[in-house]
Chains A and B, each alone.
Chain A
Amino acid sequence: MIRTIVRRLLVGFATLFCVYAFTFLMVIVIPGNPFASADRNMPPEVVRALEARYDMDDNGAYFVQFLAGATHLDFGPSFQYKDWTCSQIIAQSLPVSLTLGLLAMLIAVLVGVPVGVYSAVWRDGWFDLSALGFVLIGISLPTFVTGTMLLTVFAVHLKTVPIGGWGTVMHLPLPALALSLPFMAYIARLTRVGMLDALGSDFVRTAVAKGLPKRVVIFKHVFKVAFLPVLSYLGPAAAQAMTGSFVVEKVFSVPGIGQHFVDSALNLDRGLIMSTVLVYAAIVIVFNIAVDTLYSFVDPRIQGSAR
């Protein structure tokens, strides 16, 4: 077990390095830089001096230097936010996104799994059909629409929560709910499919035949099997919810890391692009390892990678 985790962590570091190299390549082929914009009209000496300050004149040196800094989480200065280092920006925005994402995943699992179980057990009943309708909406309505609707109903009309921002507990529920909807819908459906598969298998028939109560069969036998696909979906989904929430963050003006994914690329903010990509990739890797480890606890037949 520990050997597997260590091996996967080593592979993870190698992957991180490849991600870094790839991003670096993308960043240096992009034409232009933030200092050469037409409206600022700086003399060429100043531009050169600025480029030297941000190590833009020597790509090879920058590659090594950034990597050296990144090993102790020092990602250098940001072009866009002059008074901030990239590490400070991430340290400030990442916890916000992590909180939001974790809460959203919690809601998605706590609602999605029971809904899936219930609609599988009472297949094609009224609950199953209305759950299907809800799932279809959750999957195909963009989060900026659902988010705004939630905002209009709960913040503008009912005035139960503040309209946007971050800081108090009351700021949490709406963005977390909006973020969780697509995941919730997918998890509900995944659980339902898994449950239906398991309900039709031989060991369930045996369990029912030997007279076990339905509740015990469903929760002790069927659910255990049905939960596995949900578990392997949780890894990438959690990483996505924690870092890919830029749309929800924009709707609810949450100061998370999502905005930096968009802004850093638009502003050609080299240091911030690379540091946000590295953080994202690291989170994806860690979550995949965590889920695979959990997986082998739940289902001991699987050793190491779940895929």
Chain B
Amino acid sequence: MIDTRNSLAWRRFRRNRAACLGLVVMVGLLLMSALAFPFSSRWSNVQDLQGAVRAAPTLRVVTPYDAYERALPDSLLGAGMHRVAGLAGYDDLGRSLLFRLCLGWLVSLGVGLGAAVMAVVIGVSWGATAAMAGGRVDAAMMRIVDILYGLPYVLFVILLKVVLEPPLRTVLHGQGHLANVIIVFVAIGAVSWLTMARVIRGQVLSLRSRPFVEAAYASGVGRMRVMWRHLLPNLVGPIAVYATLVIPQAILQESFLSFLGIGVVPPTPSLGLLATDGVQAVNSFVGFWWLIAFPCGILVLTLLALNFIGDGLRDALDPRTDAVAIF
């Protein structure tokens, strides 16, 4: 069999044990939370103030099915889900931590993915435009990136939130939670495209003078077409690598913002919010280890898996990169 570039890359990726483990962990978590989604989206906010407030993890059924039932028609899967509701314990309001974790993981991943898409779109178009234009335009555009690097990102995330919130709320009228999550990832994405822009500019600059690009120009292909058909396919590697590395950063930033009270707004759960809740529970009373151990455990697991996948992709797709791989 002849090795195409992609199968070679896949083989290199598979050889990286940490990256494969990361992939398995991410797929496992995704399957779990996707399976639970029909239930966690409705049950994550069902409170049981009678028996379940800060109840420890248990296999026992704590909250009667009636409390949940009104939300969803009876089904076998539903009954099974109800039985495992107490597996990760309950929070301050007697809500099942398992359901909140399942939904919160999806929310955090959504924020990460959204921010990564934002970073890719802005970063690639910015970097590629600068490199293709060259000269003064290039210098000016990269100068802007330098300046934005020197700005405190939190402040800009908050300012962006303040600016974007009113228009987005009117567009997504009635879906406040969705609007709020979108604002969070747009704000994070809008500040995390800088590294992407630099990397892409460097790549385009080095590709621009390659013979195949000159051949394309010489045979009368236009600039935009060269960009789309000849340069962009060669940029897929670095784009994939840096997009994967933006996701864990964005998830971590979301948790900081949520800790400061300016991220995802409760009762929508996110890993950051759940960790913050856990931290506060540990602060006030000693014990309730599950409230901090599970959210932080999932958070660490997710971030590590994504970082490993990103590094594996970098080794597989972009072996000549000048960025330092630290793992």
B-binding residues in A (CB < 8 A): 15, 18-19, 22-23, 26-27, 29-31, 136-137, 139-142, 144-145, 148-149, 151-152, 156-157, 186, 189-190, 193, 229, 243-244, 246-247, 250, 261-262, 264-266, 268, 273, 276-277, 280-281, 284-285
Contacts and interface: CB of A to CB of B under 8 A. Distances in A.
Given A30-B159, A142-B299, 20 more contacts: A15-B150, A19-B150, A22-B151, A29-B163, A140-B248, A140-B304, A142-B252, A142-B259, A142-B296, A144-B276, A145-B292, A189-B326, A243-B152, A261-B152, A261-B154, A262-B158, A265-B155, A277-B151, A277-B152, A281-B150
B256 A30 contact: no
B299 A140 contact: yes
B56 to A, nearest CB: 18
B303 A140 contact: yes
A144 B262 contact: no
Nearest to A182: B252
A244 B324 CA distance: 23
Contacts of B279: 144-145, 148
B326 A193 contact: yes
B158 A265 contact: yes
Contacts of B85: none
Nearest to A137: B300
Interface residues of B, number: 43
A149 B279 CA distance: 8
A276 B155 contact: yes
Contacts of A27: 159
A264 B259 contact: no
Nearest to A29: B163
The 3 A-B residue pairs whose C-beta atoms are closest, nearest first, are: A140-B303, A265-B158, A189-B326
Interface in B284-310: 286, 292, 296, 299-300, 303-304, 307
A18 B147 contact: yes
A246 B147 contact: no
Interface centre among A141, A145, A148, A285 (most CB of B within 10 A): A145
Nearest to A19: B147
A141 B150 CA distance: 25
Nearest to A280: B152
Contact of A152 (B159, B286, B326): B286
B259 A247 contact: yes
Nearest to B272: A142
Nearest to A260: B155
Interface in B110-159: 143-144, 146-152, 154-156, 158-159
Contacts of A284: 149-150
Contact of B256 (A136, A142, A152, A243): A142
B240 interface: no
Contact of B324 (A23, A136, A190, A268): A190
A18 B262 CA distance: 27
Contacts of B326: 186, 189-190, 193
B296 A141 contact: yes
Contacts of B149: 284
B162 interface: yes
Contacts of A246: 154, 260
B324 A145 contact: no
A150 B276 CA distance: 15
B93 interface: no
A105 B286 CA distance: 31
A35 to B, nearest CB: 16
A274 to B, nearest CB: 10
A175 B275 CA distance: 19
Contacts of B325: 193
Contacts of B307: 139-140
A246 B286 CA distance: 25
B227 interface: no
B158 to A, nearest CB: 4
B327 interface: yes
Contacts of B276: 144
